[in-house]
């Protein structure tokens, strides 16, 4: 089924003149930031405003881990659409998560007909905003924007302060000696235990990912094998926070 918002985000600006990365653009940044960006963006690579991803992996549901396939478009700063196919009790489930121009939503159906999850509103929008902020790692050219602020407490850790829809976020990165990404985390709005009898409510919770592989597409290197979830950096991550294991199969930048 066609998704007009997905297609619109990807098509926007397709005919615009392309800018290309010059390492001189980042000469003023702290050394670890230069190392990370120089590793992620090759000299002369297109300074892309959008990425289209194809991916697969496993997603954790109440009854365990289930395989999924998905594609996604991210256009900075407008937002993203992630549409996927998985299974629930052996039956196909499909749908999408998105945040576009300040509004987030989730819509999922069983057999393509029966709604199993619909979410909109302020909490959903704020949670989806946090997602697109951390997923800027799949579009590292977005981090070349002049309003991004970088800090480097040491040679292997970076702080990235970015704004989206008037919301400030601080992204913590750890990187290897060659500049490749190891981990990323953010305080993201969410409620990982949404059961009606749960004492937990929406709030800012550590959320993040660890990367174990990367791939270069069109001169842009991104993490392509990751484990993702809530309570990142604590002993709650593996037993209850991790819910998403992903491999990116292809990326196209525009």
Residue 156 belongs to a domain with what CATH number? 2.50.20.10
Residue 17 is given by DSSP the state P
The count of structural domains within the chain is 1
- Residues forming a β-bridge with 214: 223
CA–centroid distance for 65 within its chain? 20
pTM of the model: 0.95
At residue 82, φ and ψ (nearest 5 deg) are -120, 120
248 DSSP β-pair partners? 55
- 216 CB contacts (<8 Å, ≥6 apart)? 42
Strands 79-88 and 91-100: antiparallel
Q: What's the sign of the alpha-carbon dihedral 60, 62, 67, 73?
A: negative
| Assigned token pair, 52 | 């289209």
pLDDT at 198: 64
Q: What is the pLDDT along the chain (254 residues), one digit of tens a residue?
A: 689 999 999 999 888 888 999 999 999 999 999 999 999 999 999 999 999 999 999 999 888 999 999 999 999 999 999 999 998 888 999 999 999 999 999 999 999 999 999 999 999 999 999 999 999 999 999 999 999 999 999 999 999 999 998 899 999 999 999 999 999 999 999 999 866 556 668 999 999 999 999 999 999 999 999 999 999 999 999 999 999 999 999 999 99
The domain in which residue 190 lies consists of 4-11+18-253
Say if CB 128 and CB 99 are below 8 A apart. Answer: yes
- The CA angle 35-155-143, to the nearest 5 degrees, is 40
């Amino acid at each position: 089924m066609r998704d007009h918002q997905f297609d619109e985000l990807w098509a926007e600006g397709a005919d615009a003149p392309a800018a290309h990365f010059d390492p001189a653009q980042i000469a003023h940044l702290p050394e670890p930031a230069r190392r990370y960006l120089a590793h992620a963006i090759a000299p002369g690579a297109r300074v892309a405003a959008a990425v289209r991803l194809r991916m697969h992996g496993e997603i954790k549901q109440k009854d365990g881990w289930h395989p999924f396939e998905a594609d996604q478009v991210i256009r900075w700063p407008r937002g993203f659409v992630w549409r996927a196919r998985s299974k629930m009790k052996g039956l196909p489930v499909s749908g999408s998560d998105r945040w576009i121009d300040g509004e987030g939503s989730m819509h999922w159906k069983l057999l393509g007909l029966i709604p199993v999850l619909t979410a909109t509103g302020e909490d959903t929008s704020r949670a989806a905003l946090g997602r697109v902020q951390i997923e800027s790692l799949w579009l590292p050219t977005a981090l070349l924007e002049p309003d991004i602020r970088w800090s480097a407490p040491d040679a292997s850790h970076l702080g990235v302060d970015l704004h989206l829809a008037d919301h400030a976020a601080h992204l913590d990165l750890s990187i290897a000696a060659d500049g490749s990404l190891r981990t990323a985390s953010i305080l993201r709005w969410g409620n990982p235990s949404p059961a009606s009898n749960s004492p937990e409510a929406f709030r800012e919770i550590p959320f993040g990912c660890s990367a174990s592989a990367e791939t270069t597409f069109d001169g842009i290197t991104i993490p392509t094998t990751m484990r993702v979830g809530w309570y990142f950096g604590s002993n709650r991550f593996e037993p209850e926070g991790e819910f998403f294991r992903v491999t990116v199969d292809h990326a196209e930048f525009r």
